[in-house]
Structure 1
Amino acid sequence: MPHCIIEYAKPLEARLNPTELLNAVYEGASLSGLFEGPDIKIRAIAYEAFLTGAEKSAFIHVTARILNGRSLEQKQRLSSTVVKRLADLGLADISITVEIVEMESDSYAKYLT
């Protein structure tokens, strides 16, 4: 945990490799001090069709799904470290957002083979 889902405007791929997004979010989650490296899971989805307000502006949105029980301060630390690492990529004319979503641990299921 966490599961970090990166959604981004596909035209950004002309300015950076999607692996850079994965690495930045991984580093941000790790720097939060809340998770061990092997527990951080990240995936990315590129969108070709999107509107940001009334425009077609570049965006990166990260949803970080974590098990419930973290304090507000911990959730704020996670979102701010992830935003900072993404901002450090130096992209111009972009909206970067992070949303922390709590998952109910009593109903979360996992199966590994």
Structure 2
Amino acid sequence: MPHFIIEYTPNLRDLPLDAMLSAVAHRLAGSPHVQDEADLKGRAVRADAFRVGLSDQRGFIHVTVRILAGRSSAAKQDFSQRVVEGMLEHMPAFDASLTVHLSVEVVDMDRESYRKVRLSPAAKDR
């Protein structure tokens, strides 16, 4: 925790997803609200079927940050700001005919039902 999921539309060609994932992870790891960088889990998912309004000349990048419930509004704002900064750090220039929407949402996960088990035998990962 936190988990962050980058969803993007396929008309956004040449997104540097590895660099974006790394930048977001590094920024989140620097938050006072993250205790262990090994708990950060990021992934990118392409939204093959999508729609942005009524135009075909739009795309989006939406980042969902999933955190255990109970964090303050300030912590959630810190997470969303760090994600935006990390994403913009590696944002390419898009075709002038394409409008791109970047959004971030911080979502609470239920503490009572969330489970995590580390399966690595290395002592440093426990």
Q: Distance in 1 between matches of 2:52 and 2:27?
A: 24
Number of residues of Structure 1 aligned to a counterpart in Structure 2: 112
The residue aligned with 1:52 is 52
Unaligned runs of 5+ in 1: none
The residue aligned with 2:89 is 88
Q: Residues 34-67 of structure 1: CA distance to partner in whole angstroms, max 9, x if unpaired?
A: 2132110011101222111122412111111100
Q: Distance in 2 between matches of 1:22 and 1:85?
A: 8
1:64-75 paired onto structure 2 within 5 Å: 64-75=65-76
Q: Is the 8 A contact 2:60 2:102 kept in 1?
A: yes
**Paired residue secondary structure (2:11):** helix
Q: TM-score, normalised by structure 2?
A: 0.77
The residue aligned with 1:21 is 20
Q: Distance in 1 between matches of 2:5 and 2:100?
A: 18
Range with greater deviation from structure 2 (67-76 or 48-57) = 48-57
Q: Distance in 1 between matches of 2:19 and 2:53?
A: 26
Q: Which has the higher helix share?
A: 1
Tell which structure's C-alpha radius of gyration is larger: 2
Q: What's the C-alpha RMSD, in Å, of the aligned pairs?
A: 1.7
The residue aligned with 1:103 is 109
Unaligned runs of 5+ in 2: 94-98, 120-126
